[in-house]
Amino acid sequence: MMKEDKANTPQNSESAPNFVLRDGALRSATWRSEGEYGPLFNTRITKLYRDEDGNPRETATLNSKDLLQVSELARETHREVLMRRRAHSQEKQKSETRDEQRDFAEDWHDEESSRQDIARERFKEERKPSRGARRAKPRDRAAR
């Protein structure tokens, strides 16, 4: 029913969609861009047809018969976007873990500190309040 169409997308064009799904005459083209917190995906769903001269055309105008097919195409596109986001998150997590392991391995060979000292210092750094942050005053329990 739905197939991924990579044949119609130029591989080295910046404006080419990241992936395209098709269901009959309907086409879902999705572009990826990098945001501050990870990848962003934008999708355009169009219907392909031929004009009176036989030239291929696209339209965003759909008739009521297309709506169920569009909803299924949108569902498949959403599933594909989620899979790509998860893959990005997992790759990012692996990269961060490798960086932490490398840092820890380098610190371990420090002649001045032991592994526990290094872990203790990192814990203290993580728990330090940020600059300008105010600490809340302890509540007076007798005032109740």
User: Mind listing the pLDDT tens digit for each residue in 3-17?
Assistant: 555 544 444 456 899
Identify the CA nearest to 22 among candidates 41, 40, 46, 42. 46
For position 80, what pLDDT does the model report? 96
Residue 73: CB atoms within 10 A of its CB come to 22
| Of 22, 27, 142, 39, residue with least CA distance to 82 | 39
pLDDT tops 50 at residue 47: yes
In the Cβ-directed half-sphere of 130, how many Cα atoms lie within 13 Å?
1
Residue 123 DSSP class: H
Please give the share of the chain, as a percent, with pLDDT higher than 70: 74
Residue keyed to tokens 């309040």: 129
- What is the C-alpha separation between 62 and 44, in angstroms, rounded? 13
CA–CA separation, 53 and 65 (whole Å): 25
The pTM is what?
0.58
- Here the tokens at position 7 are 């044949």
25's tokens: 């005459």
The pLDDT tens digits of the residues spanning 58-76 come to 999 999 999 999 999 999 9
As a whole number, the mean pLDDT across the chain is 81
Distance CA 70, CA 2 (A): 11
